[in-house]
Structure 1
Amino acid sequence: MKTFNTLFIMESSSPPLATMRRAITEKDDGKPQLVDIPMPRLGPDQVHIKPVAMGLNPSDFKMGTAFPRPGAVIGQDMAGTIIAAGENAPFTPGDLVWGGASGCISSNPEYGSFSTHVCAPALLVRRLDPQIDPVEASTLSTALATSALAFWTPDALDLTPITPENPSKDPFKVLVYGGSTASGTIAIQLLRLCGLDPIATCSPHNFDLVRSYGASAIFDYADPATPAAIKAHTGGQLKHVLDCISDAHSVETCFSAMARVGGRYVSLEVVPEELLARRRAVRACFVSAYGIAGDAMDLPGAYGMEADPSKREMGKWAFDMFERLVNTRKIRTHPVERLEGGLAAIIPGLAKLQSGSVSGKKLVAIM
């Protein structure tokens, strides 16, 4: 890891920033483009980061398609080196960090990780042990933010006061539908650290992968017998579900597997009301990693959010804890598929992700 340390020393003594940067931004139709844009302004609660790696997420193409914001920088996940910090940001130039930049959809169109110089809220950035590969750490932010919102907000699974640092004495089962996704493997690990018993669905070719992250039982998502098998495995008492896929099939499977008395179901996409109406006893909630900062989002329907200081407070607490868990190696990152070529690799990478051909891997662009 000596090469990483050398890089950080060089960055901390780098010359003043240029006036322009390269970035992936949205066109008028929301599709990505590689362009030159002005260097971002540095606010008091912001940091500027020179990324060494940037993780790709499905939301990076989905949000632009659904809610175009021409000119907004795309991307959420990254890891790299602090090159400047606002007066309220607890960082120093040269710090190695990982974090999220809330690209595409945040109130600040300059945010977004797909850039040669990233502007990000300090709230979502944390230090990384130099012995940990930043390429792997660039996969973390969105998945961790998703789990935080799913586990510790009152409308979601509401596991409070259970946390990895205050584990449960009652290891009840929690289903993670889509356990081989990046959000799924992180959720499974956090549930295990919380003292709970994660079970999961995925494709059979990913069973070993999902088992290695801590799932105690795994079911074929496509098998028509899976809902009954989960119900038998849980004794008809499954009351907590995180659905990382959130389509009609996953909703049907999850609802059919849950206890007769209902429970709590969290989706990562907005589920149509006609599907939710099948089980009124189930308390359903949609969460988006974009909401972890508690900022208002002016979007239609359930995707819109009012400002919520309690989410911001929870996000800070959760990311402080995640920093400790990551740096003490208590969380394993999702398997990585490296995309060489820096920013130029991102647009074809998003197309590959959109094609549905990526399974059990997180695409990461290497600068």
Structure 2
Amino acid sequence: MQPTVNMTPPLRQKAAVVGENGTAVLAEVNVPKVGPGQILVKVIAAAQNPSDWRTAKGVQATGAVLGLDYAGVVEEIGPDVPVGLRYVGERVCGFVKGGVGPTGAFSEYLVGSAQLGVIPIPVGWPFEDAAQIGVAALTAIQALWEAHKDLPTPLAPTTTPLPILVYGGSSAVGFYTVQFAKLSGLRVLVTASPRNFELLKEYGADELFDYKDPQVSQKIKAATGGKLKHAVDMISEAGSGNIIAEAFGEEGGHIGQILIYPSPQENVTVKFTLAYDLLGEDFETPRPFKATPEYREHSEKVVKLLAEILALGKVKPMPKLILPKGLASVQDGFDYMTSGKVSAQKITYRITDTPGVSA
């Protein structure tokens, strides 16, 4: 059922905010005001990312509204938004930089850019699935085509299936990276836990390798005949860069990474990308970033590419785990994630499942 659009949003709302010691607590806060170039979104569903609990713990901005990924309906359009870009009642999804201020995805309403980090919800996708698109899909695009400059896209796939390694395929970013790489005509090699092998094959993985296998680098190198030159590291921890580097051939290769680490060896180059950069805002954490006009233009192209890829109708959402009490379940979601239980699933919250919130 299409949610109703309230032309006069309320002044107060329920939201999951940063509490003591970086925890998540349910609170009543002000509905943020829409500003120039922004939209006000009535949030229908939100999805959890590792950045959510890391920001809560690391920044500890008490009272800040948590949450990055959202799906909802445009409720209000601010000034200076190009005519025709957005419309009231539009189903949209994307992400905002939650956990640091008065707006975030774990809320009834949020304010975000009308142009950057937001796209129309793909046809046929319910809000609960669309909520996972923002960070994961945009990071996948960065890791494939911002970190690498010589890879084909699903809009112009190659007929020569050169190999690419997706290290950490059962992460949310991994699921979208695997699909985008496969749609681009690439030969997709993936590391993951064996329990997720069959599922990842359904999403486009050609060959799978146990990331815990001490011979995994050698097996990947043998499978590619020493021809592997492209990799994306969806884990970027626990020596993953060294494992990838050892899977490359004698000429080395290039790694797109989601966390920063130095090149593991001389003939290997690395490129770090961060989804926050795409929002076109200056920030200091997790590392300083200056939003230049050139990068804002690049961000617009990234959003457009994502919308065009999803419009092909060939991308599937990853499995989701909907927690039962909406925003009141966020701390439970944090605990579940930090305990290491999340695997091949996206923790998701329906806002109306929150006690005291009506449709």
- Alignment TM-score, normalising by the size of structure 2: 0.91
**Aligned residue for 1:299?**
285
**Aligned residue for 1:284?**
270
Alpha-carbon distance in 2 for matches of 1:157, 1:207? 26
Alpha-carbon distance in 2 for matches of 1:145, 1:188? 13
**Aligned residue for 1:57?**
49
Alpha-carbon distance in 2 for matches of 1:45, 1:290? 17
2:331 partner letter: I
In the alignment, structure 1 residue 146 sits paired with structure 2 residue 136:
no
CA offset at residue 132 of structure 1? 2.1
Q: 1:330 aligns with which of 311, 314, 322?
A: 314
Conservation of the 8 A alpha-carbon contact between 2:138 and 2:306: no
Query: Which 4+ residue blocks in structure 1 deviate beyond 6 angstroms?
Result: none
Q: 2:149 aligns with which of 158, 162, 168?
A: 158
RMSD: 1.9
Alpha-carbon distance in 2 for matches of 1:226, 1:256? 9
Conservation of the 8 A alpha-carbon contact between 1:173 and 1:198: yes
Change beyond 3 A, Cα 1:130–1:201: closer
Alpha-carbon distance in 2 for matches of 1:200, 1:350? 27
TM alignment of 1:80-99, pairs within 5 A: 80-87=72-79, 88=81, 90-99=85-94
SS at match of 1:33: strand
Conservation of the 8 A alpha-carbon contact between 2:25 and 2:328: no
Alpha-carbon distance in 1 for matches of 2:311, 2:126? 11
Alpha-carbon distance in 2 for matches of 1:249, 1:84? 46
CA offset at residue 28 of structure 1? 5.9
**Aligned residue for 1:270?**
260
Alpha-carbon distance in 2 for matches of 1:121, 1:343? 23
Change beyond 3 A, Cα 1:67–1:283: farther
Deviations 1:1-39 (A, max 9, x none): xx2x3x2xx22xx25122112222223643322222221
Q: What is the count of residue pairs matched by the alignment?
A: 347
CA offset at residue 151 of structure 1? 2.2
Conservation of the 8 A alpha-carbon contact between 2:164 and 2:231: yes
Alpha-carbon distance in 1 for matches of 2:226, 2:312? 37
In the alignment, structure 1 residue 189 sits paired with structure 2 residue 189:
no
SS at match of 2:28: strand
**Aligned residue for 1:100?**
95
Structure 1 gaps, min length 5: none
Alpha-carbon distance in 2 for matches of 1:312, 1:244? 24
Structure 2 gaps, min length 5: 352-359
**Aligned residue for 1:127?**
120
Q: 1:342 aligns with which of 326, 333, 350?
A: 326
Alpha-carbon distance in 2 for matches of 1:345, 1:287? 30
Conservation of the 8 A alpha-carbon contact between 1:145 and 1:315: no
CA offset at residue 325 of structure 1? 2.9
SS at match of 2:323: strand
Conservation of the 8 A alpha-carbon contact between 1:175 and 1:200: yes
CA offset at residue 101 of structure 1? 1.4
Conservation of the 8 A alpha-carbon contact between 2:31 and 2:110: no
Alpha-carbon distance in 1 for matches of 2:111, 2:280? 18
Percent identity, aligned pairs only, is: 31
Conservation of the 8 A alpha-carbon contact between 1:28 and 1:69: no
CA offset at residue 260 of structure 1? 2.2
- Alignment TM-score, normalising by the size of structure 1: 0.89
Alpha-carbon distance in 2 for matches of 1:251, 1:185? 19
Segment of structure 1 superposing worse, 142-151 or 15-24: 15-24
